[in-house]
Amino acid sequence: MTDAAPALFVALEQSGFAATIRQSTWLYPAANIGHIVSLTFFAGAVGVMDVRLLGGLAATAPARLLARARGFAIAALAGMALTGSVLFLAEASHIVLNPAFQLKAALVAAGLMNIAIYELWARRAVEGLAPGASMPARAKVAGLLSLGIWVAVAACGRSIAYF
Amino acid sequence: MTRSVFFSAAFALLTSAALAHHGWGSYDASKPVTVTGPIVTSKFENPHATITVGASDKVWTVTLAPTSRMNNRGATEKVVAVGQNISAYGYPSTVDKDEMRAERITVNGKTYEMR
């Protein structure tokens, strides 16, 4: 089943670290649990940010609320990347060919690009705003895209086991 | 910014070879099979323990359960070791004709549930 996978991913799966993940009783399930726990924090933080960009939670100035949530989001994303790498490495040559995983990877790239575009193009306009001020259209677009993309990433992640 | 560039590059790499992968959905529960014979190879690994069985028709790859569940059910690494005679009841893969997912296995007269 591994013959179609690019050599890099076959090598990753055959590495000593990947073997350790597979042979440990607790490492793989721990990464699985860690991935879900990180996901809940990530979804919470991103949800707060996106709702704020869309004009909700407007009692606090956007800069303050976004800064708080950003810290949680970055930490949770790092947790997801770490635990996700463990899950991926164990079966790299299979997962890399999984269509749900491929779509997920593309969506993660889209989500990160959405963040980059927001940071470059919308952040300054948003963070000077007072509490209750109406949000610029570009902020709403970024918030809406973010919500849609990250929910789709989660759905794709869960779908990897079924394709 | 560099991160998104990295992910784009990674994705371009990932999609260079795309083929269907078998998951838990792709087993045909309407055509259960029983595979009987000696265990040829055994990988007691996560996410699922996997063995190959030299049956009378061919060598089957039999997908078992996660190692923690295997241990809890008593189907330890020693039970599914190479050379043991096994009988595995389960469902054939619709993707890989030589693979099946075991619902239960019997070794030395003892049956272990895999779900």
Q: Is pTM beyond 0.95 here?
A: no
> How many beta carbons lie within 10 A of that of residue A120, not counting itself?
10
Q: CA B73, B76, B80, B83 torsion: positive or negative?
A: negative
Judge whether residue A50 has pLDDT over 90: yes
Indicate yes or no: CB of B11 within 8 angstroms of CB of A96.
Answer: no
Whether residue B15 is contained in a domain is answered as no
Q: Is residue B97 part of a domain?
A: yes
Contacts of B25 in chain A (CB under 8 A): 162-163
Report the candidate in A44, A17, A45, A43 with the shortest Cα–Cα distance to residue A31: A17
**Residue A4's pLDDT is what?**
79
Please check whether residue B93 lies inside any domain of the structure.
yes
Distance from the A59 Cα atom to the nearest Cα atom in chain B, whole angstroms: 31
CB-based contact, A90 to chain B, within 8 Å = yes
Q: How many residues does chain A have?
A: 163
Give the domain extent around B107: 27-113
Check if the beta carbon of residue A96 is closer than 8 Å to that of residue A84. no
- A26: pLDDT strictly greater than 90: yes
Look at residues A131, A111, A137 and name the one whose alpha carbon lies nearest to residue A66: A131
Looking at the domain assignment, is residue B2 inside a domain? no
The per-residue pLDDT for B16 is 37
Say if residue B11's pLDDT is above 50.
no
Reply yes or no on whether the pLDDT at B14 is more than 90.
no
Chain B residue with CA closest to A94: the answer is B21
CA dihedral A99, A105, A108, A110 (to 10 degrees): -80
Interchain CB distance below 8 Å, A163 and B71: no
Contact check, Cβ <8 Å, B23/A115: no
Please compute the mean of the pLDDT values over residues B43-63 and round it to a whole number.
96
What average pLDDT is seen over chain A? 95
CATH number of the domain enclosing B60: 2.40.50.1010
Return d(Cα A69, Cα A48) in angstroms, integer: 7
As for how many domains chain B has, the answer is 1
Q: Which residue has the higher pLDDT, A162 or A108?
A: A108
Residue B3 lies in a domain: no
What's the pLDDT band for A110 if we cut at 50, 70, 90?
very high
Q: What is the pLDDT of residues A62-93, one digit of tens each?
A: 999 999 999 999 999 999 999 999 999 999 99
In a domain, residue B47? The reply is yes
Domain-embedded: residue B48: yes
Task: Give pLDDT, residue A162.
Answer: 83
